[in-house]
Structure 1
Amino acid sequence: MKFPETLSAERRGLIERAAAALECSYGAGFLGMVLSGSAGRGVETERSDLDVIVVVTPELVGTPLTRNTELELLPVTLKHLETLAVFGDDQWGYRWSYAWAPTLLDKTGGRIAQAIERQTSLSAEEAHALLEMRLDAWLNMSYRSLKSARDGNLLEARMDAAEAMGPFLDVVFALDGQVRPYNKYLQWTLEHHPLKSWPSGELLNTIEQYLAGNAEAIRESLKHVQRSELPLVHEAFDEWSAEQYDALRHG
């Protein structure tokens, strides 16, 4: 088994014993293991759960796995790992749970590791579909925040800016071909897998200022995204009237 260097010897032992029990109980039906959650990304604390994805053959998914009370075993099939949920599906949220999660054991000739890697990134088609759904939502809430700030309604401006943050991050990561991380792992992701188009420190500062309802930061984020060469991005901006577009650009 291959463990991340950050995982303690005690936790490695727990997983090794669980793997041995699964091998004994399920034999060829036990296909591999992936370490998810905080432990899989080297940011666990003493309160963090130890979440291990156990890849099994279909007939074993509904069978209770041998469990250690100190870790959670999450059974999935290889087909599930190789199936890509699209934005809006109820399975979409699971895609980032697999992102950059280390494969501990792969008895499939590399298919588990390949599936995990594929879950992490967005194809051009996937990114396009996500942007179609999220660009307008981000622009609309940003516009509302800027109008509130212009009118002196600062609380409302911050609330609208906070509501814009979700679609904003969806857009920013999709433009880079990545699935947006959970908020808990945003800083970890930007440190270990930085975006090509936006320096991590600059983006984190923009997020801080955005959440404070800073109108200038919101406008700078709009300008930054608008530099994209994707026609879809420019079409989204072009749908706004001259008056509305002026509010997005100027106070």
Structure 2
Amino acid sequence: MEFPETLSAERRELIENAATQLQSEYGEGFLGMVLSGSAGRGLETERSDLDVLVVVSPELVDRPLTRNTELELLPVTLQHLEKLAVFGDDQWGYRWSYAWAPTLLDKTGGRIAQAVERQTRLSPEETLELLQQRLDAWINLTYRSLKSSRDGNLLAARMDAAEAISPFLDVVFALDGQVRPYSKYLTWSLQHHPLPSWPTDDLLETVEQYLAGNPEAIRQSLRRVQSYELPMVRETFAEWSAEQYDALRTP
């Protein structure tokens, strides 16, 4: 088994003991293990759960696993890991739970590791689908924030700017072909897997400025995204004409 360096010896032993028991109970139906949650990213605390995805053959996925108060074993099939939820599906929220999660044991010749890695990547088709749903939503919320800021309603400006952060990050990560991380893991993800098109410190500062409702920082983010050479981006911004939506561009 391969463990991340950040995992304690005690937790490694728990997982190794569980693997031995699973091998005994499921035999060839036990295909591998993936470390999820905070422990999988080196962010666990004393209160963090130890979540391990147990990859099993389909006929075993509904069989109850032995429970351990210190270790949460979550059965999944390889086919489930290899199936990609699309944006808007009820399973979409799980995409990032697999992203960058270390594979501890892979008895499938690498299919588990490949499936986990693929969950965090967006294909060009997936990127376009997400942008179709989130780019316009982000611009709309940003426009509302900037209008309120211009009109002196600073509370509304900050509230709309805060609401805009979610579609903003969806868009920014999608433009670099990645699924947006959960908020809890945003800093970790950017530090360990930085976006090619947006320096980590700059992006984190932009999020901070959104929360403060800073109109100039918000406009800078608009200009930055608008500069991407992608037809979908150009077409969406073209619909927000300068004459009708001047608040997007000027104080």
TM-score range (shorter-chain normalised) is over 0.9
Paired residues of 1:18 and 1:67 also in contact (CA < 8 A): no
Structure 2 unpaired stretches of 5+ = none
Distance 2:116 2:240 in 1: 39
- The whole-number CA distance in structure 1 between the counterparts of 2:177 and 2:142 is 23
Identity of aligned residues (%): 79
- Counting only pairs closer than 5 Å after superposition, residues 59-138 of structure 1 correspond to structure 2 as 59-138=59-138
Alignment of 1:1-251 (within 5 A): 1-251=1-251
TM, length-normalised to structure 1: 0.99
Q: Which amino acid aligns with 1:21?
A: Q
Cα separation, 1, equivalents of 2:72 and 2:137: 37
CA distance in 2, matches of 1:3, 1:64: 25
Q: Counterparts of 2:196 and 2:123 in 1: how far apart (Å)?
A: 16
The question of whether the paired residues in 1 share the 8 Å contact of 2:242 and 2:249 is answered with no
| Gapped regions of structure 1 (runs ≥ 5) | none
1:209-239 per-residue CA deviation (whole Å, 9 max, x = no partner) reads 1111110010000001011000100101111
Q: C-alpha deviations, 1:21-63, integer Å up to 9, x for none?
A: 1101111111000000000011111111000000001111111
- What's the offset of the Cα at 1:67? 2.3
Letter in 2 for 1:145: S
Q: Partners in 2 of 1:46 and 1:244 — Cα distance?
A: 53
Contact 1:142-1:218 at 8 Å conserved across structures: yes
Is the contact between residue 33 and residue 52 of structure 1 (CA under 8 Å) also seen in structure 2? yes
Whether the aligned pair in 1 keeps the contact of 2:95 and 2:120 (CA below 8 Å) is yes
**C-alpha distance in structure 1 between counterparts of 2:72 and 2:26, whole Å:** 17
Distance between the aligned counterparts of 2:176 and 2:70, measured in 1? 37
Cα distance in 2 for partners of 1:171, 1:214 equals 19
Q: What's the RMSD between the two structures over aligned residues?
A: 0.7
Q: Which moved more, 1:66-75 or 1:143-152?
A: 66-75
d(CA) in 2 for partners of 1:148 and 1:86?
A: 34
Matched residue pairs, number? 251
Q: Is the 8 A contact 1:237 1:245 kept in 2?
A: no
> Within 1, Cα distance between the matches of 2:83 and 2:67?
26
Q: Is the CA contact (8 Å cut-off) linking 1:176 and 1:195 kept in structure 2?
A: yes
Cα separation, 1, equivalents of 2:25 and 2:75: 14
Amino acid at match of 2:235: E
- CA–CA distance in 2 between the matches of 1:112 and 1:242? 49
The TM-score, its normalising length taken from structure 2, stands at: 0.99
Partner SS state of residue 73, structure 1: strand
Conserved? CA contact 1:96–1:180, under 8 Å: yes
| C-alpha separation in 2, matches of 1:170 and 1:242 | 24
SS at the partner of 2:75? strand
Contact 2:33 2:53 in 1 (8 A): yes
| Partner SS state of residue 31, structure 1 | strand
CA-CA distance at 1:68 after TM superposition: 1.7
The 4+ residue runs of structure 1 with deviation greater than 6 A are none
Secondary structure class of the residue paired with 1:244: coil
- Classify the secondary structure of the residue corresponding to 1:68: coil
Give distance in 2, aligned partners of 1:211 and 1:244: 26
